[in-house]
Chain A
């Protein structure tokens, strides 16, 4: 990735981390994925990275 792309990707991850929906673990998974595959990351891998382990059983 170019410097500009890297900067935008980093800003993107930082912005996600500041939202309630994204905990640190998910952001880390996404960061690892993007740093390994870059822009050629597969959509299904992105979806997988965004999944959470099941939380408490709902009533």
Chain B
């Protein structure tokens, strides 16, 4: 997606002011612990995402970017803390400047204001995993499988897949419930129709016979067939209104209601008993009910998480991942409650179906309750009908069921008093009515048939539509599961393959046959690895810490390759292979160079040997790095960057700030001379307290350099290597000239003068010291690659004096004479 050209940090974390220029290439930031390297990583992450993972997530309670992002001396001035990145966007072939300040961390100011560039940067912001610390890599390796699955899915941006799967499952369940309801209504309507025509079976030919028999009585022509849109009174006067009371049919409706009321208790006994048991359990264990309620609540809440504020309680969280993890943990704890909830809902649904069917039967009888004598009963039946309807529709959730606990525990059916007797009386009254004339009977029969046909057709259409929707919803869920599992399986297969190949590449000497297995099951992601052909084990079982670090980085790289593909153009690795030994780090350098040639790596390390390895292996070029050699609250990281340090000192002196310049120069010289003493093998007088100052090291280093150049001259002469003789002579002449100037200023460099006294000098006194020391250090450095010269081998007789790039490589071993 992007490469970094430049990074400018102001008053952010441990950095006061710092500019580094990776120039779209890999870059190493080296320095001892506490020198401010991670501040650079934090700054890049902050600029890109508006967040600093070190200040958020688990174990960071009380920390925040707003409060702890600014430098400690600027903690009340968040506007002073800002990071600017000069960014190259390869896809657009354009550069863009991105600035973000702690005062407005969510606002990325970009210049130029280009929507395409902004879109790219927004995509980058969605990938905080571009920065990786050692703490992060442990997340992928030494972690239990469920958490690994979550971390990896978050990294792969797959959390939406789980979310969509859950939504489709809920949709499928709801569609199935709606289908069941519609089916019940259709069956009841069909039953009502069947009862009316008084047939054993609703066969269209038999219905046609009944219809035509009644039509004949009315003098209407026979219908040839019963079709989906047939009107059984077709041909009757179009303005006629038809009564729908039909004596025989009404008697059958009353009988049906009587029979249903008498038998319903048997049909619901089993589900009702189970519902009652569960309701008793919930009553005895309020915590169980809470867990069920919270589960539904949390499940719903999870779908609304789109920021670091909880959608359920408005609590602020350090970041969105931490909030999601918290809610998912709650869901996992409610797993047992989920089974009880499912059983309760299933049994309640069976009761609801019976209640709805009974309500439909009641509906058919209500119109018969006419006349003064039935007013009171009609009211009671109407109330009962509402009660049944309420049960039929109101047992869909745990809370609804619990709210009806008393009803379900007691006389749940609650029929009107003496229902059977009163229905018998109603039936007797209807039966006592004079028989309808044949014509009236036929007319009311057909009118009521048409009503019930219409109702049945509507209900059937609704049921068929609901069935189709339910089958689609079920198929959608099943298909999504299959497609996503296939997609994830093939993705994890690729990750597994890449991971093992990367790991083998950096451990070819001792684990050339390394294999790995990533297995997905039930929301878990198991990682097992081969241990020297002895079997597959969890990564933490037998492998050393260094090997585990290697695995973490390899798995990260394999995942990033999948996440971003060709867009994996930038990664910031914060001291991630600190436990990997030197030889394996060299292989790691080669892995980065060969497998990720288009990725810009910004790598921090406290290990100067590895920083150098990255140069010699070509991961970073000669100027692709900066070394921090000190840190203080006042200055932030002190860089060993040749041009910068002298510019900074000149700036201090221009402001007549000799104390600042002196402090900078002293720190720099102490650092460089200690490095050179080590690299050149200078003989420094041992001090028990290990407290060496500039005066202890400068002279031994200069002496050692003279000795080494003497060896080089002798060796070149013995081999007859004229060009090297010439080169050494040139170096010695330069050295001599500088040392003469050095001697002139020796009073000020003399050990007798404590270097802290520099701060008392005037600018005029101090400037010559700066100049001579600057030139002196140039003698120890390659002008091509800026690396310090060093002697090889480090132990034993010196054989060569060389720089990192090989531009300087002086032989120190003279030809043996016989």
Contact = CB atoms under 8 A, between A and B. Distances in A.
Majority-rule SS of A interface residues: helix
A50 to B, nearest CB: 4
Interface stretch (B323-331, B430-438, B478-486, B587-595): B478-486
Contact of B487 (A7, A30, A52): A7
Interface string A1-16: 1111101110110011
Contacts of A44: 171, 174
Nearest to B461: A54
Interface in A1-53: 1-5, 7-9, 11-12, 15-16, 19, 21-22, 26, 30, 34, 38-44, 46-47, 50-52
B722 interface: no
Contacts of B363: none
Given A8-B161, A43-B174, A59-B228, A50 B464 contact: no
Contact of B167 (A8, A16, A42): A42
Interface in B148-194: 156-161, 163-164, 167-168, 170-171, 174-175, 178
Contacts of B471: 21
Contacts of A16: 475-476, 479
A52 B476 contact: no
B473 A46 contact: yes
| Interface hub of A26, A54, A58 (most chain B Cβ within 10 A) | A58
Given A7-B487, A12-B484, A2 B160 contact: yes
A47 B171 contact: yes
Contacts of A42: 167, 303
A55 B460 CA distance: 11
A59 B178 CA distance: 22
Contact of B483 (A15, A34, A50, A58): A15
Interface in B219-238: 226-229
Nearest to A54: B461
B182 to A, nearest CB: 12
Contacts of A11: 483, 486-487
B228 A58 contact: yes
Contacts of B175: 47, 50
B563 A2 contact: yes
| Size band of the interface chain B makes with A | 35 or more
B469 A8 contact: no
Contacts of B178: 47
A42 B488 CA distance: 24
A46 B465 CA distance: 15
Given A44-B174, A47-B175, A50-B469, A4 B464 contact: no
Contacts of A55: 461, 464-465
A39 B156 contact: no
Nearest to B126: A2
A13 to B, nearest CB: 9
A19 B475 contact: yes
A11 B164 CA distance: 14
A40 B163 contact: yes
Contacts of A4: 156-158, 161, 487, 491, 562-563
A57 to B, nearest CB: 4
Q: Is the interface of B mostly helix, strand, loop or mixed?
A: helix
Given A47-B469, A59-B226, A5 B460 contact: no
Contacts of A21: 468, 471-472, 475
Contacts of A1: 157, 160
B473 A39 contact: no
Given A22-B472, A38-B160, A50-B473, A58 B464 contact: yes
A39 B161 contact: yes
Contacts of A26: 472
Contacts of A40: 163, 303-304, 306
Contact of A39 (B167, B228, B487): B167
A43 B164 CA distance: 9
Nearest to A9: B164
B163 A46 contact: no
Contacts of B226: 59
A50 B461 contact: no
Given A11-B487, A57-B228, A19 B157 contact: no
A33 B563 CA distance: 25
Nearest to B472: A50
A5 B178 CA distance: 30
Nearest to A5: B160
Nearest to A19: B475
B610 to A, nearest CB: 33
B710 to A, nearest CB: 63
Interface in B745-759: none
B204 interface: yes
B457 interface: yes
Nearest to A50: B472
B565 interface: yes
Contacts of B460: 58
A6 to B, nearest CB: 10
B174 A47 contact: yes
Contacts of A56: 228
A58 B461 contact: yes
A50 B168 CA distance: 11
Contacts of A12: 476, 479-480, 483-484
User: Which of B164, B178, B461 has the largest count of A CB atoms less than 10 A from its CB?
Assistant: B164
A34 B204 CA distance: 44
B490 to A, nearest CB: 10
A9 to B, nearest CB: 7
Contacts of A19: 475, 479
Nearest to A22: B472
B228 A52 contact: no
Contact of A51 (B159, B227, B229, B469): B469
Nearest to A11: B483
A23 B713 CA distance: 87
A19 B482 CA distance: 14
Given A50-B175, A50-B469, A50-B472, A2 B158 contact: yes
Contacts of A9: 164
B483 A59 contact: no
Nearest to B462: A54
24 contacts: A3-B157, A4-B158, A5-B160, A5-B164, A7-B487, A8-B484, A16-B476, A19-B479, A39-B163, A39-B164, A42-B167, A42-B303, A43-B167, A43-B171, A44-B171, A47-B171, A47-B174, A50-B472, A51-B465, A52-B468, A52-B469, A55-B461, A57-B457, A59-B204
Given A4-B491, A16-B475, A47-B171, 13 more contacts: A2-B157, A3-B157, A3-B563, A4-B161, A4-B563, A11-B483, A15-B479, A16-B479, A38-B160, A39-B163, A40-B303, A50-B476, A57-B457
Interface of A: 1-5, 7-9, 11-12, 15-16, 19, 21-22, 26, 30, 34, 38-44, 46-47, 50-52, 54-59
Report, nearest first, the 3 A-B pairs whose CB atoms are least far apart. Answer: A2-B157, A39-B160, A46-B171
Interface of B: 156-161, 163-164, 167-168, 170-171, 174-175, 178, 204, 226-229, 303-304, 306, 457, 460-461, 464-465, 468-469, 471-473, 475-476, 479-480, 482-484, 486-488, 491, 562-563, 565
